[in-house]
Structure 1
Amino acid sequence: MGYISLSLNTSSLHGNPYLNCFISAAIEIPAYIVSWLSLQYLPRRLCSSASMLLGGGVLFFIPLVPSSLPIISILLEMVGKFGMTTATSLIFVYTGELYPTIIRNTAVGSCTMVSRVGGAIAPYFIHLGKGMQRPLV
């Protein structure tokens, strides 16, 4: 849900929306490379939890940024998108390795279904911020 919400919110950031969408798409390339490297060299729990904490933790600082510095807000959102992209790609591999072989297909299918439900309700979370006094990003 976080990954899809950040992807959909890119066009409403300050500045040029085309440049913001390009940066949002370009940030995924190093995120996938980092996720592949972390799967090679780090334990699964460490890389999953670290990327989720990076992706979610950075986003809490966006409301603290003054509105006169929109570049910092964009930078924080892109770092959050980097963490969310890394976490999303890691969690699919980790889920497949977590369950025993006899129930793996059912378990991965169930987890994927729950993630798709989160993706389906993600656009509604963007509308929650519209009623606030100051936009978060």
Structure 2
Amino acid sequence: MNEPVLSRLQQLMSLREGVEALTSSGPWVPLADWSDSDTHLCLHLDVPGVDPESLELQESGDVVTVSGQRPPLPERLSGERPSGTFSRTLSLPAEIVPQSGQATLTQGVLCVRFEKRHPTINVNADELPEDSANGSR
């Protein structure tokens, strides 16, 4: 082959590799919510299709990191759902008791329940009757 043909072929191969890199699914980020139940914080993370054995949870200071992997579909014809590995680091919205996380996986949602270091206590104070407030009985 002559040099102009080889040069053009190398350009085309480089262009193809660039397009494949842009369209391949890279790391993905599952959506997350926090909820507060007075004594516990709960992290809810959408992880449908993720292999439960691949899920890892790490606490460090005031952050928690969840990672895992969703395998690609075999013989996929087209795709919109990301696959591969993910890692999500989230700030804890309140102080927790270290290593208190308990995880469950239900219908593709990972729920991690952490015990709060300072539980929220809702106290309803009834108003004192006027006689008690003045010291008279």
* TM tier, smaller: under 0.3
Which structure shows the bigger proportion of residues in helix conformation? 1
Higher-Rg structure is 2
Scaled by the length of structure 2, the TM-score of the pair is 0.26
Which structure shows the bigger proportion of residues in strand conformation? 2
Scaled by the length of structure 1, the TM-score of the pair is 0.26
